[in-house]
Amino acid sequence: MTAATHGTTSTSTMKLTLRIWRQHSPEDGGSMVTYQIEGVSPDMSFLEMLDVLNEDLILRGEEPVAFDHDCREGICGACGMVINGRAHGPERTTTCQLHMRQFSDGDTIDIEPWRAAAFPVVKDLVVDRSALDRVIQAGGYITAPTGSAPEAHATAVPKEAADFAFEHAECIGCGACVAACPNGSAMLFTSAKVNHLNVLPQGAPEREGRVLDMVAAMDEEGFGGCTNSGECTIACPKGIPLQSIADMNREFFRAATKRRR
């Protein structure tokens, strides 16, 4: 590799205008605040761009922008913000895996927190997503004996069931589906969790209770109802399909009729 093309970093940097939702506390009203940022490399991730802004703010003695993040490799589900009106921004990925090459020099970027009654803003771009944890607590587990690991082939899982479970297990619980839904509904998230376990033999003992209890917990948290607008699936960084909601509804009807008997 020659010196001129050293590495993969491109030389031109970008100058951007950011309009970011700043909110001091849950009680605070909050508003959009405008910042200018220079020297943004197209190879930076969106969060690295915010790190640069925050360094600048700290040096100027201002409060840095609060945002959630952890793995920064698209697997933990901690990050998430609404970028130009789209949950996780313009690309189908997590905010941490979104790169600044998706934007152009001179762009104005609007950054807002997830919006839903069930996701109250804690500070700036950080929202409280513990409502999703409570949905999981209601049934997103299997009853397994503790002790030494069971023999891997003891329980046979049909290939189709394994694929179906894996597809739904991809959900990282980021909450983008709720943020993107015009009804603040958590149906896509809940369906991913229910379908993941309900199709597996390991999840069979709690199959009926799981779907009924998780749906009840979801309703209790103040998530909206599904009108099949489909915005959730488009926003989902893991591509959980919209038909998963129908799959969960089928499980729900099956469980509801079985319980009554």
Distance CA 168, CA 188 (A): 10
Binder of ligand FES out of 45, 94, 185, 191 (CB under 6 A): 94
What's the chain's length in residues? Answer: 261
Q: Using the rule CB under 6 A, give the single segment among 5-13, 72-80, 144-152, 201-209 that binds ligand FES.
A: 72-80
Estimate the crossing angle of helix 207-220 against helix 187-198, to 10 degrees. Answer: 170
Window 10 to 39, contacts with another protein (CB under 8 A): 19, 21, 32
Distance CA 101, CA 6 (A): 18
Distance CA 8, CA 142 (A): 46
**Contact footprint for ligand SF4 (CB under 6 A):** 171-177, 188-189, 192, 235-238, 240
Residue 171 interacts with which of ligand FES, ligand SF4, another protein, none, CB < 5 to 8 Å by class: ligand SF4
- Specify which residues 33 forms β-bridges with: 20
Residue 218 interacts with which of ligand FES, another protein, ligand SF4, none, CB < 5 to 8 Å by class: none
Compute the 3-state secondary structure of the chain and give helix, strand, coil in percent, each to the nearest 5.
40, 15, 50
- Measured over the CA atoms of residue 108, residue 25, residue 49 and residue 232, the dihedral's sign is negative
Q: Which two tokens stand for residue 129?
A: 């997503």
Residue 183 interacts with which of another protein, ligand SF4, ligand FES, none, CB < 5 to 8 Å by class: another protein
Residue 74 interacts with which of another protein, ligand SF4, ligand FES, none, CB < 5 to 8 Å by class: ligand FES
Q: Return the SS3 of 111.
A: strand
Q: Using the rule CB under 8 A, give the single segment among 97-105, 115-123, 151-159, 195-203 that binds another protein.
A: 115-123
- Strand ranges (E), the chain: 14-22, 31-40, 82-83, 86-87, 108-112, 121-123, 126-127
Helix (H) or strand (E) holding 80: none
- The CB-of-3 to ligand FES minimum distance in angstroms stands at 34
Residue 246 interacts with which of ligand FES, another protein, ligand SF4, none, CB < 5 to 8 Å by class: another protein
Residue 85 interacts with which of ligand FES, ligand SF4, another protein, none, CB < 5 to 8 Å by class: another protein
Binding residues for another protein, rule: CB under 8 A, are 19, 21, 32, 82, 84-86, 110, 112, 115-118, 181-185, 222-231, 234, 241-243, 245-253
Binding residues for ligand FES, rule: CB under 6 A, are 69-72, 74-79, 94-96
